[in-house]
Each structure stands twice: as structure tokens, then as C-alpha cells.
Amino acid sequence: MEQSADDLLRSKGLRSTAQRRAVLTALRGHPHSTAADLETRIGAAGSSGGGLSRQGLYNVLDDLAGARLVRCIEPAGSPARYELRVGDNHHHLVCRGCGRIEDIDCAVGSAPCLAPVQERGFTVDEAEITWWGMCEECRQASAGSTAGTVSA
């Protein structure tokens, strides 16, 4: 059974505010959301966001990430993205065409599931891998747009 936003916040010792609950609720079913996506979703939800300003949204996201209730990923060339899937050290596959992001489970064992050749005195507990490519839809669109061109 999925925990309520209120229960998740309390489990991490955070106060359960309307703003925090609104952000957690807005992330459910919408992994890899940007702050702009969340702002739109929370705004569309009416007053359930508790009057959340843009700066307030970033403060809430920072609080939730610090408590490990959300994970922030930052693919190159993309705004920061937020997701509720935390603690399992999964990775991401990003489409260069449309920017869609898919979760990829660890290939080997448990976290960090990959280890550096040299740890240099660190105790490694997480690995973050991003694979880049083209999704099926973008590949088909690209193939379709080049199929009609004529070479000179």
C-alpha cells in the first residue's frame, strides 16, 4: 500500500505542510518532472498547493531532496528533474530527440551496483549513470523526415 504524503513527511521528521503534500502529490505518477511541470500541476490543482510561490516550490523541493523523499537528477542540457523513486540506486535513459527519461534498474546487485576503479578514500554508496539515445518515436520521426529528401 502506498503511503500518504502526510505519512511520508512524518516518517522523515518533516512537518506535513500543504505545500510539501502538494509537491509529493504532484510527483505521483509523473516521474522526472521539472519544477515548471510541478508548478503547473500544483497550480492546476487549485488551492491545494497552499499558495506556493516559485521560490517556495524550490525550497520545498530542496527540503524533500534533503530528506531523501525525492531524488533530483540533472541530465546535461536539461533542467533539474524530480522523482519519488529514491533509495534503489536506479539509473536513467534519456532520449536526445524529445527528452523523455526512462528509469533503468541496476544491472548488477545492490547499491552502488557499480564501483569505481579507484575509490580514493571514499566510501561509495551510490552510482549515477545516464545513457543517451533516441527513443522509438524519435527514431521513426527522424527516419520519416529523411526518407523524403533527395541527395544531389
What would the pLDDT profile of 110-150 be if each residue is shown by its tens digit? 667 777 777 788 988 888 889 999 999 999 998 887 665 55
The CB density around residue 56, as the number of other CB atoms within 10 Å, is: 15
β-sheet bridge partners, residue 78:
none
* Res 109: pLDDT: 67
CATH value at residue 73: 1.10.10.10
Is position 95 within any domain?
yes
| Number of structural domains the chain divides into | 2
* Res 67: pLDDT: 97
Q: What are phi and psi of 90, to 5 degrees?
A: -80, 170
In this prediction, the residues of the chain whose per-residue pLDDT falls under 50 are: 47, 152
pTM of the model: 0.81
